[in-house]
């Protein structure tokens, strides 16, 4: 599910929404941090700032999903999206994937608005990414036919690490993480396929029709080992910023 075997061109073709979101992350970061015209104004008007939401700037409930404070922040969130987003984009389809991703991020930011003080500021895609984890956990618990035991265990392990690091890490929007995850769980039954059956995920780039069972390779080649190590490092990076 999380091992990438596609070439760069194949990845763009198979996962256009994930590609678009990652591109936006870095384009916005470059625009703001290279002092391009309007960059500072853009940043000031996109940050999630509860006080300004109270004044009616409702778009700040959406725009923080695409904005990052540093290159490492954008890098880790983008890597996590590349790792955890493609399988769901193929299973849900482009429109439902966007609804799930943005919807979970919106739920996280609305909760942040109501539960954090007026002077609270936040930005980053973590709430939306936790929403993806929420969808995966819903599959593990309620739609077992969509995911095999090995990947279910991997999802649970990732979530345990995420919960622990959310509460012990610094400078983290805890409310955003928790409610992004809850949002994913709530959205999952609305976007997952209604028809029950076996959805076998093939990581073969020449077979872009994806299902969700029998995902892990029987033998670990060098490419698989590389991706497993990368996933572990990215997970640690995501949750320890």
Query: What are the catalytic residues?
Result: 126, 177
124: phi > 0 → left, psi -120 to 50 → alpha, else beta; which? left
3-state secondary structure of 183: helix
- Tell which residue, 193, 192, 203, has the closest CA to residue 14: 203
> How many helices (H) and strands (E) in the chain?
11, 2
How far, in Å, CA of 165 to CA of 187, rounded?
24
CB 31 within 8 A of CB 42: yes
Residue 18, CB-side half-sphere exposure with 13 Å CA sphere = 25
116: phi > 0 → left, psi -120 to 50 → alpha, else beta; which? beta
16: phi > 0 → left, psi -120 to 50 → alpha, else beta; which? alpha
Instruction: Spell out a b/e string for 161-194, using b for 16 or more CB atoms within 10 Å of the CB, else e.
Output: bbbebbeeeeebbebbbbbbbbbbbbbbeebbee
């Amino acid at each position: 599910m999380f091992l990438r075997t596609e070439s760069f061109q194949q990845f763009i073709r198979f996962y256009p929404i994930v590609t678009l979101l990652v591109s936006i992350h870095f384009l916005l970061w470059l625009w703001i941090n290279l002092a391009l015209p309007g960059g500072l104004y853009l940043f000031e008007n996109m940050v999630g700032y509860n006080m300004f939401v109270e004044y009616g700037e409702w778009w700040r409930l959406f725009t923080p999903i695409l904005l990052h404070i540093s290159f490492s922040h954008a890098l880790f969130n983008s890597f996590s999206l590349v790792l955890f987003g493609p399988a769901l984009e193929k299973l849900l389809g482009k429109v439902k994937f966007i609804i799930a991703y943005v919807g979970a991020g919106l739920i996280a930011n609305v909760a942040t608005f109501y539960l954090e003080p007026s002077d609270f500021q936040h930005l980053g895609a973590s709430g939306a990414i936790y929403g993806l984890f929420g969808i995966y956990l819903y599959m593990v618990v309620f739609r077992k036919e969509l995911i095999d035991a090995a990947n279910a265990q991997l999802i649970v392990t990732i979530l345990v690490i995420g919960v622990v690091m959310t509460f012990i890490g610094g400078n983290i929007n805890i409310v955003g993480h928790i409610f992004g995850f809850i949002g994913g769980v709530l959205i999952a039954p609305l976007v997952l396929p209604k028809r029950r059956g076996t959805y076998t995920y093939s990581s073969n780039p020449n077979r872009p029709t994806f299902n969700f069972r029998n995902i892990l390779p029987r033998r670990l080649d060098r490419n698989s080992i590389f991706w497993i190590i990368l996933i572990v490092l990215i997970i640690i990076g995501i949750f320890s910023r």
